[in-house]
Amino acid sequence: MKRDVLIGLGVGILAFLLVMGYNIFPIVLLGLGGYFLWTFGISRQVIKNGQGVAITSTMVNFEDIGGQTIAKKELQEALDFLRYSERMKALGIRPLKGILLSGPTGTGKTLLAKAAAKYTDSSFLAVSGSEFVEMYAGVGAERVRSLFRRAREIVKKEKKSSAIIFIDEMDILGAKRGSNVSHHEYDQTLNQLLIEMDGLKTDQGPHILVMAATNRPEALDPAILRPGRFDRQVKVDLPDKEGRIAILKIHTKNKPLAHDVDLEAIAHETFGFSGAHLESVTNEAAIFALRDQATEITGRHLHEAVEKVMLGEKLDRKPTAEELRRIAIHESGHAMLAETVRPNSVSQVSIRSRGNALGYVRHYPKDDLYLYTQAMLEEQIMVALAGALAEEEVLGTRSTGAAGDYEQALDLVEKMLSAGMSSLGVTDVSLLSAEQRQPVTKDILAQLEKRTMFIVQQNKNILLRISDLLQEEESLNGDTLRRYLQNAA
């Protein structure tokens, strides 16, 4: 704030002098020189003081991390080279210099790095890749040298035999050289990191292991990934159902749960959630319990928390009676068709506004699926189209509320084209022109629209009853919907 005031005052004085006819060029030149020297001095002082580098004694164990069984096992095996260094040295095994953790955000890469420091009894230094890069040449490289120098000092101070340097956002520091053509500071900083890692020898004092995290490993420079630098790459993926149950148990350990809470059911509904998402679910559930002045977190609180994390907070948006009926018919179309082609797949259907959605149908798979057949993709497209077709069948017209459904349907058609599930056969979709792709896409959607409309017309009475019930209740869970469908049949 003070710097901004001084700059503004300086500009005002220069403008006044210019109006009065003074030659301000020497003053401007002197001021710019002083500014750059002052800023560079601050940058070096930041390096010296270690700002931006977190030095902690971590208390996180591998047992505190749920849902990453394979990643933990692979990481522990790699860390044993550091933990039992004397035994490895006797066998002539070169110590590891780097371990790269890659995977989606929120999957626990930072926690794994902290647990690694605890597992090996190493000093732990953490820094973000963005801390290294400045606009001034040489600053980033000096920060790299300073970081390794500080690591050796801390190991000596804490009387330990090794240190772990954790670099988050590695794709910023380690991006492919030449990708920032107008900014050689990036390349210089990366070169210095490579030099430091190459210089890590067992006879140079304490061993320093570099651990890095990224969710874009494809953006890293090949020189970083070669053996002798990052010797191990550990994939930290989204947790499966068993992993989600383990994560939920960890995050609810300090929370009072009611007897009706079924963590397995919550894990079943949260396919595709990361550990960070699941932590947020348990936290939001506790907040809902606090709002209700409840002493325990109930199953309802957890289910509502899942919806909030997935879709956003409830909105005060009040549709008109006509809009509400259209929304109810639209969502009933989705829900009815989903239960027809994939029984027991609907978790919740609602016409309450959340996030950007006026209404929604929440689905969950019978099991965690990682491969999809053509029939499965076609069923998902039909469910996406059912809302608009229900509107057309009952009200005679479609609405803009189906825009997101069409986008989803087109994405699924794209997957079919890429997997060779169309009349084009196996082909490189990226090489096809719009004229080649459009007729095939249109043909697939037309056929599936026809099949979907047939089911909607066959079940029109049931669809209307569900929409009437939705307008009364606003929200139905999957079990209630299925009971109603069975009775209506």
Catalytic residues: 331
Q: How much is the CA Rg of the chain, to the nearest whole Å?
A: 29
Q: Say whether 359 sits in a helix, a strand or coil.
A: coil
Is residue 72 within 8 Å of residue 65, measured between CB atoms? Answer: yes
b/e code 30-45 from CB counts within 10 Å (16+ = b): eeeeeeeeeeeeebbe
Within 13 Å, how many C-alpha atoms sit on residue 163's CB side? 26
Distance CA 32, CA 194 (A): 34
Distance CA 304, CA 97 (A): 46
Is residue 85 within 8 Å of residue 75, measured between CB atoms? Answer: no
Amino acid at 98: G
Q: Which long-range contacts (CB under 8 A, 24 or more apart) does 33-38 make?
A: 36/136
DSSP 431-468: G--HHHHHHHHHHHHHHHHHHHHHHHHHTHHHHHHHHH
Is residue 311 within 8 Å of residue 280, measured between CB atoms? Answer: no
Label residue 408 exposed, middle or buried (CB < 10 Å: 0-12, 13-18, 19+): middle
Is residue 386 within 8 Å of residue 337, measured between CB atoms? Answer: yes
Q: Say whether 235 sits in a helix, a strand or coil.
A: strand
